[in-house]
Amino acid sequence: MPSATTIKLNSGHEMPLVGFGLWKVNNDTCADQVYNAIKAGYRLFDGACDYGNEVESGQGVARAIKDGLVKRSDLFLVSKLWNSFHDGPRVAPICKKQLQDWGIDYFDLYIMHFPIALKYVDPEVRYPPGFTDENGKVTPGKASIQETWTAMEDLVEKGLCRSIGVSNFRAVLLMDLLRYAKVKPAALQIEHHPYLMQESVVKYAQDEGIAVTAYSSFGPQSFLEMDMQQAKDAPLLLEHPAIKKIAEKHGKTPAQVLLRWATQRNVAVIPKSNNKDRLAQNLDVLNFDLKDEDMKEIKGIDKGLRFNDPLNVSHGLLLLVRDNLG
- β-bridge mates for residue 15, sequence order: 7
What's residue 224's pLDDT?
83
SS3 state of residue 196: strand
Tens-digit pLDDT profile for the chain (326 aa)? Answer: 456 799 999 999 999 999 999 999 999 999 999 999 999 999 999 999 999 999 999 999 999 999 999 999 999 999 999 999 999 999 999 999 999 999 999 999 999 999 999 999 999 999 999 999 999 999 999 999 999 999 999 999 999 999 999 999 999 999 999 999 999 999 999 999 999 999 999 999 999 999 999 999 999 888 887 778 888 888 899 999 999 999 999 999 999 999 999 999 999 999 999 898 999 999 999 999 999 999 999 999 999 999 887 655 554 444 445 455 66
When computed from its CA atoms, the radius of gyration of the chain, rounded to whole angstroms, is 19
Query: What count of residues does the chain have?
Result: 326
Report CA dihedral (238, 53, 225, 325) to the nearest 10 degrees: -70
pLDDT, one tens digit per residue, over 147-173 is 999 999 999 999 999 999 999 999 999
Please identify every residue annotated as catalytic: 51
CA atoms within 13 A on the CB side of 172: 3
Residue 107 phi, psi (nearest 5): -100, 140
**In the sheet that 187-191 helps form, which strands lie side by side, from edge to edge?**
20-21, 44-46, 76-81, 109-112, 164-167, 187-191, 211-215, 267-269
Rounded to whole angstroms, the Cα distance separating 265 from 244 reads: 20
Query: Could you write out the DSSP letters of every residue in 57-99?
Result: HHHHHHHHHHTTS--GGG-EEEEEE-GGG-SHHHHHHHHHHHH
pLDDT of residue 226: 78
pLDDT of res. 1: 42
Between CA 75 and CA 37 the distance in angstroms is 12
Asked whether the whole model's pTM tops 0.85, one would answer yes
**pLDDT the model gives residue 211:** 98
Instruction: Please give the Cα distance from 52 to 133 (Å, whole number).
Output: 16
Q: Which residues contact 100 (CB under 8 A, 6 or more apart)?
A: none
Q: Measuring CA to CA, how many Å separate 232 from each of 115, 197, 226, 236, 307?
A: 27, 20, 10, 9, 11
pLDDT of residue 60: 98
Residue 103, H or E segment: none
